[in-house]
Each structure stands twice: as C-alpha cells, then as structure tokens.
Structure 1
Amino acid sequence: METDKRFRLPIASGGWQFILPLAVLTVVLFLVGWKVGGVVAAGATLLVLYFFRDPERKPPRIVGAIVSPADGRVTAIDEVEHGDFPNGRARRISIFLSLFNVHVNRSPVEARVVSVEYRPGRFRNAMSEASARENERNTIHLRNGFLGVYIDQIAGILARRVVCCCQRGDTVAQGQRIGLIRFGSRVDTFLPTEADVRVKRGMKVRGGETVLAILNPTPPDAAKRP
C-alpha cells in the first residue's frame, strides 16, 4: 500500500527517460546559440512533462465502490463473454485515454494481484472494437474475497508501450498506481454482471476517484448459506 507521505514530484517515474534527454537537448541548443531550436525543444519538454503528470488522487469512502482505473472518457458499457467469471459473462466498461489525459493507471479496488499477463499484438486505433481483441495488452487480475476484477491495459496507435508496476502476490490499495500506458490508449475494466454501474457512455472519469460501479460486498449466495 502507498503510505509514503514524503514530497514527490507529480511526474510518473516512467516519463523521466523521455523528459531528461529533451531537457538536456534544450540546454545544449541554447548554449550553442540556436535559440529557435532551443525554444522548440523547450516546448517539447513541457509537453512531455504535461503528458507524464501524475497527480495525487483520493478514492471516495463508499462501501462496495469500484473506482475508475484511468482518466479519460467512457466509450462503451456492455456485457461480454468472459470465461473467468462464474456465469461466463462480465460487465465491461471501456475508457479511452487521449493524449491530454493523465496516463497513470490505478487499482479500482483494494485487492490482491492474482496474475499479470502480457499479450503481444497489433496497434490499432484504441477507439475501435477490434483493438480489444487484437492489440498489445496487459491483463491484471485483482481479487478481494469473492470479488474478482480484471483490468486490460490496451495499447493504441501511438501507445507502443504498456507498463505495469505490480506483480503476482502484491496487495494493492484502492487508487494505488498499478501502471502506465504511453501516448494514447484504452483501459477496459471487467466486473461481475450484478455490478450497479454508475457511469454513462461519453462521461469523463478520473482514475482513482470516479466511481464506476457499486457492488454489494456480500456474496450473492450469502442469504442461502446456513
């Protein structure tokens, strides 16, 4: 769990390998007297800094809440086949991240990481349905008691690298950083079909804060147990 309260720069750690070379290039160009090139490089540095921003987020204290794993816009809410859920069906909520969204991904629930599976693939437009089947992705399986949640980090046309910062056996807090997708992407969240969805298609969401759905923390068959 994230308990370190020390000061930290609000920049995703995966962004420094892009930011530092651009910053150095900016300084060098100004030192050699090429002001136009220096201004362009400085602008590029600021844009990359903006892209990799990583603000703090505070999940709401709502029992059974499942928060958004990413910033962006909800592009689809549907029911799909998913063999890892008890009834073979799952509720899918798709979120598209544009170049202007925060690209840090967060855990929608407090849970244990059951598995992390990387699958290579294509780099289709993340807005298309085909991207959910064919694109490069990272699937994170989270479990808290009877509740299982799956997160698909899906690469897009520009997003050529999916980064995951959790591994099997980790325990993550709700809203904790679990990954990053670089330069435009999509994140799909798979929930039990009985989840009460609280967002609508076209709605803008904030990772770690916006409630996607509410799920009764009591197992569905609890009333039948002796």
Structure 2
Amino acid sequence: MLSRFFLTLKICWHYLVLLIAIAALLYPVYPALAIIPAALFLFTLFFFRNPKRNIPGNEQYILSPADGTIMAIDEVIEDRFIKEPAIRISIFLSIFNVHLNRSPLSGTVRYRHYRPGKFIPAFKSHASDINEKNFIGIESDGFKIMVCQITGFIARRIKCWADNGQILQSGEIIGIIKFGSGTEIFIPIGSKINVKKGDKVKAGETILGILPDREMEVAK
C-alpha cells in the first residue's frame, strides 16, 4: 500500500507542491478561491493513483499494458521490432483511467525508441500515425511483443522506466503517459485474442490473449 502511494508521490510531487503553494497564497486573501487548488490537489492524487492489481500467475497470458477501452484490433506490418505481420490492439485511455503502463508479459527489453510527433486527440484514428510515441520491444521465449505509448491532445509527456536489457515481470510497471492518451500493443499472428472492440481493460490484470502454441499449455 505505502509503496504504491510513494510511486504516486514520485510521479506528481511537483504538481502537488505547486497547488499547495497556490492554495497557501490564496487562502489569506480569497479563502473561497483556495478551494480550487485544493480540489485540483485531490484530483491530481486521483489521476496519478496506483491501485493494486491482481496479476494472473500464468506466464502464458498476454496482459493489457494499459487501462482503457479497446478501440481497434487489426493486422498490420510491424517493421520496427517484430519485423513481420502482427496483431495490433489499440487502447484509448480517458482522463479518468489509471495512466500507468505495465509489461504485458515476462521477458527482456530488446528495443526502445522515442519518436517526436504531434498531439492530436488520441481517440482519432490517425493519431497513431502522427502523434509523439515511445516504443518498447519485449522478447519472451523467442516471441516478440511491442508496446507503444502514444500522447494525445492533453497528454504531452511520456515516461518510460524500462531500459534496454532489463528483465521485466508480467504486470510490472514500465511507464506512464500523463493526462489522457493511447497505448498500442503488437502481438504475434496466431495469438488467441480474448477481447473485442469496446471492451474495458485494466493494465496487468485483463488477459488480452495467449501467445501462439501456448494455448494447449494453458488448458492443461
């Protein structure tokens, strides 16, 4: 509990300090106006919350890397890391979702790349093509998965805490996108998909699918 709260403070302490300072300046002169930064203080704690997640113990699962709503599931050519056709699952995060990103499975970070871009609303279909992005490629038992953090109109700061060569555990926190955004995950063709467009998902908890050739192992 305390460790989760300390992570929240680590992420947003500068916002909290600023809001406390504004409230302290306003209260002696305009007490009613001091309610505004006080309310924003509480909202900031809510926005950057780090709730406990029940991470499935089965290592065969591909977990959601983000909270939000499934916007699309399609097949694309992923030419950065996987370098072959892949299934892309796009997740939109509203301002009310938890914005921490989590590793979809256990593995090793083999690729990281930051791409500058624009900041159009993340729910627009072409946002993925032109918005600022950060790519995280993970290899697990020969399979390649890639997570893509995408900024939006409000979300203009990507934080990634996963480094090249780092070994990740399934559901481990790997970054955050601040204030409304999108996340994509690219998984191998042939993976069993357990979600559909419109589904609500939770990072590190919702099972998006199972990697190819592992479905029989899960059934045992």
TM-score by length of 2: 0.90
1:178 to 2:193 alignment: no
Q: String of CA shifts for 1:55-88, please: whole Å, max 9, x gaps.
A: 12231123410000011000001111113436x2
Q: Is the Cα contact below 8 Å between 2:188 and 2:212 reproduced in 1?
A: no
Deviation beyond 3 Å, 4+ runs, structure 1: 5-8
Partner in structure 1 of residue 217 of structure 2: none
Q: Which residue does 2:184 correspond to in 1?
A: 188
Pick aligned residue for 1:13 from 2, 10, 15: 10
Q: State the percentage of identical aligned residues.
A: 37
C-alpha separation between the residues in 1 aligned to 2:114 and 2:130?
A: 13
Residue 114 of structure 1 and its aligned partner are, at CA, apart by 0.7
TM-score, normalising length: structure 1: 0.88
Mapped contact 1:74–1:201 kept (Cα < 8 A): yes
Q: Superposed, which structure 2 residues align to 1:73-222 within 5 Å?
A: 73-83=69-79, 84-85=81-82, 88-216=84-212
Task: Give the Å deviation of 1:119.
Answer: 0.3
Per-residue Cα deviation, 1:143-188 (whole angstroms, up to 9, x for no partner): 1121111001000000111110111111111111100000000000
Measure, in 1, the Cα distance between the counterparts of 2:4 and 2:78.
39
Other-structure match for 1:24:
21
Residue aligned with 2:33, SS:
helix
Q: Matched residue of 2:34: which SS?
A: helix
Whether the 8 Å contact between 1:64 and 1:216 is mirrored in structure 2 is no
- Report if the CA contact (8 A) 2:59-2:106 is conserved: no
- Tell me whether 1:41 sits opposite 2:37 in the alignment: yes
Structure 1 residue 24: Cα displacement: 2.8
The 1:122/1:7 distance shift into structure 2, 3 A limit, reads closer
Task: Tell me how far 1:46 sits from its aligned partner.
Answer: 1.0
- RMSD, aligned α-carbons: 1.7
Contact 2:122-2:182 at 8 Å conserved across structures: yes
AA aligned opposite 1:20: V
Please say if residues 103 and 180 of structure 1, whose CA atoms lie closer than 8 Å, have aligned partners that are also in contact: yes
Deviations along 1:181-208, whole A, 9 cap, x unmatched?
0000000000001110101110100100
| Unmatched 5+ stretches in structure 1 | 219-226
| Structure 2: gaps spanning 5 or more residues | 215-220
Quote how far apart the aligned CAs of 1:48 are: 1.3
Report the number of matched residues.
Answer: 212
Q: For residues 144 and 131 of structure 2, what CA distance do their matches in structure 1 show?
A: 23
**Structure-2 separation of matches of 1:63 and 1:7:** 24
